[in-house]
Amino acid sequence: MDEFELIQRITPRSLFHREIEIGIGDDAAVYHTKNGYQEIVAVDTMVDGIHFLSSHSSPADIGYKALAVNISDIAAMGGSPKYYLVSIAVPSGWHAVDIEAMYEEMNKLATLYQMDLIGGDTVSANGPLVLTVTVIGEIEKGRTCLRSHAEPGDVVFVTGELGSSAAGLAFILGQAEMKDEKQSQYFIERHKRPLPRVEAGLLCSGYHHVALNDISDGLASELNEIAEASRVSIDIYKEMIPVHSDLHTLHTKWEEWVLFGGEDFELVGTISNDQWERFSQECSERHVPVYQIGRVTQQGQADVFYHNGQDRVLLEKKGYNHFK
């Protein structure tokens, strides 16, 4: 594959942001920033065989998800994504048409948020495909939703159903039995094509002292991060956590998927009790789902508890390695 040719094909012909002085085509990208705003930067790397399986995901799926998970990081700060850069190490078995399909799908997703591709690097690899995406966003000063913002008395919320991505992966890996084609496709879609909760994040940034994380490593892990950063304890309740109505029929492990599965890329956060009603009202008006799942309980300790009927168990900060 000729790198110059690929760059010409993927270089956007038009840009959303006029603040860009130079996008692709010089040593680096250059852009103006807005007064009163801060910059937000996130970077994530995905490796074939570790974070996705090219045998089970199309190049378009892979490109989509690599960009989506980084947009999700910007959303988890309450910000607006604006720019992205794509670095890709391509094994010799891949064709230019696959790489183009990957960029094309990233471009489609980026267009939803009016994001511009401003740079990157394309190199050959003597190993699996490695895709690194950098996303740059912005947020008004003083509005960042940090993990350290949780306070006792806060409502704990999530923006959508959990465990569905892990269910989709179980279908892909043949670890769950497909009974209904349409149903399993739904879950697989949730795994391959998570929609970053940008609008929900932006709504959160309009309220005071919201803590926010995106659920990449699983609810337990994300809540523990908020608890540790804020030095608070958190109690969540099984019956309050939104799950797909069929989830429990798919596998005995469904509850583990909900708590530890990760990759749902919903947001989990905390907001003060006296803002909660106005916040949930505004979310409802804008058709942004939001569900209370528990409470921030006390200062000092940094424990997360899961209430299952009469039981109250400590939720540990463990992740979940799907391919092990």
- One-letter amino acid at 48 equals D
Chain mean position to CA 304: 21
Q: Is residue 109 a contact residue for a copy of itself (CB under 8 A)?
A: no
**Structure tokens belonging to residue 116:** 């511009």
Report whether 291 belongs to an annotated binding site: no
Report whether 73 belongs to an annotated binding site: yes
Helix (H) or strand (E) holding 181, with range, is helix 181-192
What residues contact 310, with CB distance under 8 A and at least 6 apart?
A: none
- CA 53 to CA 35: how far, in whole Å? 43
Report whether 37 belongs to an annotated binding site: no
Buried b (16+ CB within 10 A) or exposed e, 61-76: bbbbbbbbbbbbbbbb
Q: x/- contact string, 188-217, with a copy of itself (CB under 8 A)?
A: ------------------------xxx---
Binding a copy of itself by CB under 8 A: which of 26, 180, 277, 316? 26
Minimum separation from the CB atom of position 147 to a copy of itself (A): 5
Binding a copy of itself by CB under 8 A: which of 8, 111, 112, 121? 121
Beta bridge partners of 135: 42, 84
- One-letter amino acid at 67 equals L
- CA 257 to CA 81: how far, in whole Å? 29
Give, as ranges, the residues between 41 and 100 that touch a copy of itself (CB under 8 A): 41-47, 49-51, 72-74, 76-77, 79, 83, 85, 87-89
Report whether 103 belongs to an annotated binding site: yes
Evaluate whether 270 touches 156 at the Cβ level (below 8 Å): yes
249 CB-contact burial (10 Å; exposed 0-12 / middle 13-18 / buried 19+): exposed
Q: Which CB sits closer to a copy of itself, 117 or 167?
A: 117
Q: Which CB sits closer to a copy of itself, 121 or 180?
A: 121
Q: Which CB sits closer to a copy of itself, 130 or 176?
A: 130
Q: Is residue 18 a contact residue for a copy of itself (CB under 8 A)?
A: no
Q: Is residue 22 a contact residue for a copy of itself (CB under 8 A)?
A: yes
Q: Is residue 126 a contact residue for a copy of itself (CB under 8 A)?
A: yes
* Coil, helix or strand at residue 296: strand
Q: Is residue 285 a contact residue for a copy of itself (CB under 8 A)?
A: no
Size of the site for a copy of itself (CB under 8 A): 62
Beta bridge partners of 42: 135
Write out the residues near a copy of itself by the rule CB under 8 A: 21-22, 25-33, 35, 37-47, 49-51, 72-74, 76-77, 79, 83, 85, 87-89, 118-121, 123-128, 130, 132, 134-137, 139, 141, 144, 146-147, 212-214, 229
Binding site feature residues for ATP: 103, 120-121, 147, 216
Binding site feature residues for substrate: 51, 263, 320
